[in-house]
Amino acid sequence: MDARGARGENWTIVTKTSSFTAPKGVPDYLPPGSAEFVAVRDGLIHAARLAGYGHVELPVFEQTALFARGVGESTDVVSKEMWTFADRNGESFTLRPEGTAGVMRAVIQHGLDKSGQLPVKLCYAGPFFRYERPQAGRYRQLQQVGIEAIGIDDPALDAEVIAIADAGFRALGLDGFRLEITSLGDETCRPQYRELLQEFLRALPLDEETQRRAEINPLRVLDDKRPEVRALTANAPLMIDHLSESAKAHFDEVLAHLDALGVAYVVNPRMVRGLDYYTKTTFEFVHDQLGAQSGIGGGGRYDGLMAELGGQPLSGIGFGIGVDRTVLALAAEGKSAADPARCQVYGVALGDEAKAKLVAVAGELRAAGISVDLAYGGRGMKGAMKGADRSGARYTLVLGDRDLAENTIGVKEMASGEQRSVPLDAVVTVLSEELGR
């Protein structure tokens, strides 16, 4: 079937398929594995909460120009990877490829930077969209947890942002990663360095495409993975050796704070980030067991972005952590951040009257903060006990006619197999105590 877009373009809607699949490069997270996803996302958000970052929930699509201006027209993200569409009035919108530009838009629009309380500290989580070539760990819908601290240029804040990511990863049990960090300089030293680097690159026998890249974004050439280009650029001038005095002092102070915080790092002066807004401190968390898609998180300072987007000239720093890749990294380390149990208590009733009572008990237990699932559909004792095993519950409640007559309920501890009888009106209190609620 063909349909027409808002601008009259033709779209093909495939209807001949007998079954549907998720779009290419877009992962589904399903139980039980999705528990890992939730544990990672919530663990990272918790690390940000501990430093006072407030939650923002922002649109997943914005005006296309916001990303073109904010992220940079010459980046792959903007020039090749955006999901862009026209609305019915012909206005161009784009599914957000990253979070920082949207956060800045919201801060400016709602005047959060004028509330008198700086830095504005914000945290977000959700899907982002990049039309990349899908492969393991590289998706077209990716999930990030991000934070942004806006309005104060203090090296201690850079260290805080980095330490939050580091602590978030470690709290999940992850340790096979390293933090790479560098400084991209500021407006006083970057333009001169750029010229110096371009002069160096122009003298090299680089292919045409690479020469072109050197003119548009010379730093990207330093990130070229081809051995012959690596060899040619081995002695290229590096930003870190050409920092202005104040940018150098800033960077040294960030590193001193990281030392004091006990956050290990490696200075990588050749690090290149895929977004144009970075200034001064930039960093990446790299995991070695993930193959080509090794970046589990990255970020940095973006001191010119707010002014670029029409706000006051305020500084900012933040990170975006890839939740999908962090889940993969945990699996690669053979670790789990999630509680594998689907619920703490599983209920099995024998007979209609017992079932009615057990449904009510389940409600009371949930009201007390205990997670409960029940055997539904009258599967018989054997099937119901299989369900109890599969649920991962610590306790199974068994309620039959005889228990009802005696006003008691059977409580089976699944690990030991021990079963005892507890007065029905005490079961919520007993389980609350034992489960530490």
Binding residues for L-histidine: 98-100, 130, 144, 148, 273, 277-278
Q: Does 62 bind ligand HAM (CB under 6 A)?
A: no
The nearest distance, CB 189 to ligand HAM, in angstroms, is 21
Q: Which stretch binds ligand HAM (CB under 6 A): 16-24, 138-146, 178-186, 414-422?
A: 138-146
The nearest distance, CB 264 to ligand HAM, in angstroms, is 18
Q: Which stretch binds ligand HAM (CB under 6 A): 37-45, 60-68, 135-143, 258-266?
A: 135-143
Q: Does 218 bind ligand HAM (CB under 6 A)?
A: no
The nearest distance, CB 312 to ligand HAM, in angstroms, is 18
# binding residues, ligand HAM (CB under 6 A): 27
Q: Given the complex with ligand HAM, which of 26 and 204 has the nearer CB atom? A: 26
Q: Does 324 bind ligand HAM (CB under 6 A)?
A: yes
With a CB cutoff of 8 Å and minimum separation 6, the contacts of 368 are 428, 431, 432, 437
Applying CB under 6 A, which of residues 67, 319, 346, 395 lies at the interface with ligand HAM? 319
Site for ligand HAM in 299-318 (CB under 6 A): 299-300, 302, 318
Annotated binding residues: 98-100, 130, 144, 148, 273, 277-278
Q: In the stretch 142-181, what mask flags binding to ligand HAM with x, by CB under 6 A?
A: x-x-x-x---------------------------------
Q: Does 70 bind ligand HAM (CB under 6 A)?
A: no
Q: Does 279 bind ligand HAM (CB under 6 A)?
A: no
Q: Given the complex with ligand HAM, which of 299 and 387 has the nearer CB atom? A: 299
Applying CB under 6 A, which of residues 72, 119, 185, 274 lies at the interface with ligand HAM? 274
Applying CB under 6 A, which of residues 37, 53, 67, 139 lies at the interface with ligand HAM? 139
The nearest distance, CB 105 to ligand HAM, in angstroms, is 13
Determine the Cα–Cα distance for residues 124 and 213; give it in Å rounded to an integer: 33
Applying CB under 6 A, which of residues 159, 243, 255, 296 lies at the interface with ligand HAM? 296
Identity at 369, one-letter amino acid code = G
Residues in touch with ligand HAM (CB under 6 A): 98-100, 130, 132, 137-139, 142, 144, 146, 148, 274-275, 295-300, 302, 318-320, 322, 324-325
